[in-house]
Amino acid sequence: MGFRALMIEDSEVFQRVIGDILSQTPGIDSVTCAPTGKDGLVQLSTGRFDVLFLDMVLPDMGGLDVLRRLRMHPSPPPVVVVSAAVGAGSNLAIRALQAGAFEVVCKPQPGQSMDPVGTLRGELHRVVEALSSRRQTRIAPLPAPVPERKPLEPRPALIQKRSYRATWITAIAVSTGGPEALSRVIPLLPGHLPNPVIIIQHMPAGFTASLPRV
């Protein structure tokens, strides 16, 4: 079963362009459009959608307001921001990721590409493929248990005594909403923490340089 997509987009041009791209994207079953943030939130409260494609500049409210209100939704869909205001490294893009966006895609700018629609199509196809992989990972059945086998006795000649010094590390792995979570967790870490901290953050290319400044 494919995704039921909701698009919140006020531009009639991009309603048509993005709608056509999504309608032809493998993995998308249906596309519904809402021209304002308020209309989109109403659609989310009355219908069932698997993914939301969100512009950040809307006539009635900002995209960040939509993302914040989605937190009150009992089961919010993953949000893909598609906006001209989220170029690589932009502060708004980082704030959208902090607010829980799954991915950000910048609308093509004039003169940026010889094939702006093709570029946008490629970006949206990539995101839908990532969402599909995420869904399959979540619903994949558990593998059958492997029968236990009696361990082989090691050969004395191969046994080598080595001394190791155990070192503890703190690992923090985050994905959607990770920047916001990190901004809350990291200040709570003690300053005298003796072990190293490793952070794994899923983030679109072009935004990692801005993460340490969040």
- Is residue 50 in some structural domain? yes
C-alpha 122/C-alpha 189 separation (Å) is: 40
- Is residue 159 in some structural domain? no
Domain check: are 96 and 8 in the same one? yes
Per-residue pLDDT of 133-183, as tens digits, reads 877 665 445 455 555 555 555 555 555 666 666 678 889 887 756 776 787
pLDDT at 183: 76
Between residues 127 and 114, which one has the greater pLDDT?
127
Domain check: are 109 and 193 in the same one? no
- Is residue 7 in some structural domain? yes
CATH assignment at residue 73: 3.40.50.2300
pTM summary value: 0.73
Q: Across the chain, what does the average pLDDT equal?
A: 83
With a cut of 50, say whether residue 58 has pLDDT above it.
yes
Domain check: are 22 and 122 in the same one? yes
Domain check: are 14 and 101 in the same one? yes
- Is residue 149 in some structural domain? no
Domain count, the chain: 2
Domain check: are 46 and 107 in the same one? yes
Domain check: are 121 and 175 in the same one? no
pLDDT at 142: 47
Domain check: are 56 and 113 in the same one? yes
pLDDT at 188: 87
* pLDDT confidence tier of residue 97, bands split at 50, 70 and 90: confident
Between residues 154 and 73, which one has the greater pLDDT?
73
Question: Residue 207 belongs to what domain range?
Answer: 166-213
Per-residue pLDDT of 61-72, as tens digits, reads 999 999 999 988
- Is residue 161 in some structural domain? no
Domain check: are 95 and 174 in the same one? no
Domain check: are 75 and 120 in the same one? yes
